[in-house]
Structure 1
Amino acid sequence: MKKTLIASAIAAATAFSGAAAAAEMPTVYGNIQYALVYDNVDGGDSSIDHRDNGSTLGVKHSHEIAPGIEGFFKAEMEFTADQKGGGNGLTDLDEAYIGVKSDDFGKVWVGSDDSTYERAIDTIANFYEAADLSIGGDYETGEGDLVQYETPSFGGLTLGAAVQINGDANGGAKSYPYQLAAIYSVDALEVAFAVDSNDVAADGNNENTYGLRGTYTAGDLSVTGEYQTRKDVGDLYGVMGVYTMGANQFALSYEMGVADDANDTEMNTVTLQALHNLSDNMYVYVEGYLGGGDDGVYGVADKSEESVGVVGAVYYF
Structure 2
Amino acid sequence: MKKTILASAIAAATFSGAALAQESNLPTVYGNIQYALTHDNVDGGSSDIAHNDNGSTIGLKHDHEIAPGVTGFFKIELDGIDADDKSKGRGRIKLDEAYIGVKSDSFGQVWVGSDDSLYESTIDRIVNYYEVAARNIGGSYTTGEGDLIQYMTPSFGGLKLGAAVQINGDGDSQSNGKSYPYQLAAIYSVDALTLAFAMDSNDGDTGYSSGSSETVGDPAVNVKNNENTYGVRVAYAADAFGASLEYQTRKDAYDIVGVQGTYTLGKNVFALSYELAEADGVSGDDKMDTIALQALHNLSDNMYVYVEGNLAGGDDGVYGVADKSEASTVSVGATYYF
Q: TM-score range by the shorter chain?
A: over 0.9
After superposition, residues 26-41 of structure 1 pair within 5 angstroms as 26-41=27-42
Structure 2 match to 1:300: 321
Whole-angstrom distance in 2 between the partners of 1:136 and 1:37: 19
Amino acid at match of 1:122: D
Whole-angstrom distance in 2 between the partners of 1:170 and 1:19: 43
Structure 2 match to 1:182: 186
Structure 2 match to 1:65: 66
Residue 18 and residue 34 in structure 1: after superposition, are their counterparts in 2 closer, same or farther (change >3 A)? Answer: closer
Structure 1 match to 2:146: 144
Which one has the largest radius of gyration? 1
Structure 1 match to 2:127: 125
Structure 1 match to 2:5: none
After superposition, residues 68-217 of structure 1 pair within 5 angstroms as 68-78=69-79, 79-88=81-90, 91-171=93-173, 173-201=177-205, 205-217=225-237
Q: 1:224-272 CA distances to partner (integer Å, 9 max, x unpaired)?
A: 0000000111200000001011100000000000001374210000000
Amino acid at match of 1:178: Y
Asked whether the equivalents of residues 34 and 51 of structure 1 are also in contact (C-alpha less than 8 Å), the reply is yes
Task: Tell me the CA shift for residue 90 of structure 1.
Answer: 6.0
Amino acid at match of 2:85: Q
Q: 1:176-206 CA distances to partner (integer Å, 9 max, x unpaired)?
A: 1000000000111100000000001466510
Of residues 199-208 and 65-74 in structure 1, the stretch that sits farther from structure 2 once superposed is 199-208
Amino acid at match of 1:307: S
Whole-angstrom distance in 2 between the partners of 1:69 and 1:89: 38
Structure 2 match to 1:316: 337
User: Residue 256 of structure 1 is aligned with which of 254, 258, 276?
Assistant: 276
Task: Tell me the CA shift for residue 25 of structure 1.
Answer: 0.6
Task: Tell me the CA shift for residue 169 of structure 1.
Answer: 1.8
Amino acid at match of 2:30: Y
User: Residue 279 of structure 1 is aligned with which of 285, 294, 300?
Assistant: 300
Residue 248 and residue 200 in structure 1: after superposition, are their counterparts in 2 closer, same or farther (change >3 A)? Answer: same
What's the RMSD between the two structures over aligned residues? 1.6
Equivalent position SS for 2:278: strand
Runs of 4+ in 1 over 4 A off after TM superposition: 16-20, 201-204
Residue 193 and residue 81 in structure 1: after superposition, are their counterparts in 2 closer, same or farther (change >3 A)? Answer: same
After superposition, residues 259-270 of structure 1 pair within 5 angstroms as 259-261=279-281, 263-270=284-291
Length, aligned pairs only = 302
Structure 2 match to 1:6: none
Task: Tell me the CA shift for residue 218 of structure 1.
Answer: 2.7
Task: Tell me the CA shift for residue 91 of structure 1.
Answer: 1.2
Equivalent position SS for 1:85: helix
Asked whether the equivalents of residues 309 and 328 of structure 2 are also in contact (C-alpha less than 8 Å), the reply is yes
Residue 144 and residue 315 in structure 1: after superposition, are their counterparts in 2 closer, same or farther (change >3 A)? Answer: same
Of residues 90-99 and 129-138 in structure 1, the stretch that sits farther from structure 2 once superposed is 90-99
TM-score (norm 1): 0.92
Structure 2 match to 1:8: none
Whole-angstrom distance in 2 between the partners of 1:234 and 1:275: 31
Structure 2 match to 1:291: 312
Task: Tell me the CA shift for residue 85 of structure 1.
Answer: 3.1
Amino acid at match of 1:177: P
Q: 1:46-67 CA distances to partner (integer Å, 9 max, x unpaired)?
A: 0000000000010111111111
Structure 1 match to 2:8: none
Amino acid at match of 2:136: S
Task: Tell me the CA shift for residue 216 of structure 1.
Answer: 1.1
Q: 1:269-317 CA distances to partner (integer Å, 9 max, x unpaired)?
A: 0000000000000000000001100000000000000000000000000
Equivalent position SS for 2:22: helix
Residue 217 and residue 26 in structure 1: after superposition, are their counterparts in 2 closer, same or farther (change >3 A)? Answer: same
Asked whether the equivalents of residues 80 and 89 of structure 1 are also in contact (C-alpha less than 8 Å), the reply is no
- Percent sequence identity over aligned pairs: 67
Query: Which sections of structure 2, spanning at least 5 residues, go unmatched?
Result: 1-16, 206-213, 215-222
Residue 62 and residue 93 in structure 1: after superposition, are their counterparts in 2 closer, same or farther (change >3 A)? Answer: same
Asked whether the equivalents of residues 77 and 90 of structure 1 are also in contact (C-alpha less than 8 Å), the reply is no
Asked whether the equivalents of residues 62 and 72 of structure 1 are also in contact (C-alpha less than 8 Å), the reply is yes
TM-score (norm 2): 0.87
Amino acid at match of 1:282: M
Asked whether the equivalents of residues 82 and 89 of structure 2 are also in contact (C-alpha less than 8 Å), the reply is no
